[in-house]
Structure 1
Amino acid sequence: MKKLLGVMLVLLAMNTAYGQRAGGFRFQMDLGAAVPKNGGIGALVNLEPQILVKNNIAVGLRLGVAGLAKDVTYYDISEDYEGEVSGNASVTGTLNYYFNKGNSRVAPYIGVGFGYYALSSIDLENTDINEDEVGNLEADFAWAPMARAGIELGKFRIGAEYNFVPTSNLQNVSGTVIGEAINEYFGFTLGFFVGGGKWGK
């Protein structure tokens, strides 16, 4: 058992000692704030395994969860009401390009993605609306693109992303569309990665 642990530590050290190399495997984790398009606040967590197809190009699969508190618009009511969306989950294929030729610890990057978003239901809070009359925004699913940019320094990273998730319709008990909830959101993240080597010599 000790020998196996020793071999794993040596392999990890070798992988970290060299620069980012094609064929290498990375795993990154990001935590941050999420801001819905029309205002509100939330938080997000992203986990993303990646494979370096070139020294400065990585493809990955982002597994994300975002909890958002945002406004819900009713067409026949002049006010917006606060609704809470919890645990929106997404699975997104990603492509990152790193502006680094192996001679610096600093690696700015840009990235794009496209994936599947599972949108949880909305519960109205602190309103005078009778939910039995107007209905509720039930769980929904959508395909959507994502764009991001940031910078990596050593094994740490700071970034910004925008998720272009389509608007969800709010229906009453008769199936008539009576409002909408905007699902697009901006994320500001801090994180790190392991594996794949490190930037710089």
Structure 2
Amino acid sequence: MKKLLVILFLFQFISTAYAQRADSFRFQMDLGAAAPKDGGIGALVNLEPQILVMDNLAFGLRLGATGMAKDVVYYEIPDDYIGELAGNASVLGTANYYFNYGKGRVAPYIGAGFGYYALSNIDIDDTDIDEDEIGDLKANFAWAPMVRAGVELGKFRIGAEYNFVPSSDLQSVNGEVVGKAINEYFGFTLGYFVGGGRWGSQPMKQ
């Protein structure tokens, strides 16, 4: 137990003693709320390993999962129904630029990414609709960009992102296009990163 505490202390000491530096590795984790473009609510989680190619520029790979409840357009049924999107998964290459030059612990940032979104099944919930007549509705896969901005405070982060996921056709089990889902959404996140040093700290002299 004592050895484990010593290891954890050394890891934290190394992380806080060094400022953000090129060639450093960091791993960030974000949790937050998702807001579909046309209304609804949801939640998201992002995991993102990054490498600092410059002191203030990081390239990464964002692995995300989002669950949302929102309305969809169905072509042959009345408007009084609810369409529930169970969730989507995404893998995006990303770049973040941080506006901090060793002058404090606050680091505003802007970023962008591009990658692949896998969209989940759609369920239609309405007492007047026979689910056997609708079948299992499935949305398509899509390539899409993402932009984001926020601020890091020490090792904590607050951010906002917008995912430009294109609309997708909803298909019945027979392959017939029966509706459309609007997939664009905002994300509002809180997170934390490990590794890479700490904003505002000065590197130890060798």
Q: TM-score, normalised on structure 2?
A: 0.88
State how far apart, in whole Å, the 1-side matches of 2:152 and 2:114 are: 22
Q: Which residue of 1 aligns with 2:65?
A: 65
Matched, 1:167 2:167: yes
Cα shift readout 1:112-162 (whole Å, capped 9, x = no counterpart): 001111111001113422333344421532111111000011111100001
State how far apart, in whole Å, the 2-side matches of 1:2 and 1:140 are: 52
**1:195 Cα deviation from its structure 2 partner:** 0.9
State how far apart, in whole Å, the 2-side matches of 1:61 and 1:168 are: 24
Q: Secondary structure at the match of 1:146?
A: strand
The structure-2 alpha-carbon separation of the partners of 1:176 and 1:86, relative to structure 1 and needing over 3 Å to count, comes to closer
4-13 vs 58-67, greater mean Cα deviation: 4-13
Contact residue 155 and residue 192 of structure 2 kept, 8 A = yes
State how far apart, in whole Å, the 2-side matches of 1:67 and 1:162 are: 15
Q: Which residue of 1 aligns with 2:16?
A: 16
State how far apart, in whole Å, the 2-side matches of 1:128 and 1:102 are: 62
Q: Which residue of 2 aligns with 1:195?
A: 195
Matched, 1:181 2:171: no
Q: TM-score, normalised on structure 1?
A: 0.90
Q: What amino acid does structure 2 have at the position aligned with 1:64?
A: G
Contact residue 72 and residue 180 of structure 2 kept, 8 A = yes
Contact residue 87 and residue 120 of structure 1 kept, 8 A = yes
Q: Which runs of no fewer than 5 residues in structure 2 stay unpaired?
A: 202-206
122-131 vs 172-181, greater mean Cα deviation: 172-181
Instruction: Calculate the aligned-residue CA RMSD, in Å.
Output: 2.1
State how far apart, in whole Å, the 2-side matches of 1:3 and 1:43 are: 38
State how far apart, in whole Å, the 1-side matches of 2:4 and 2:44 are: 36
State how far apart, in whole Å, the 2-side matches of 1:45 and 1:173 are: 30
**1:178 Cα deviation from its structure 2 partner:** 2.9
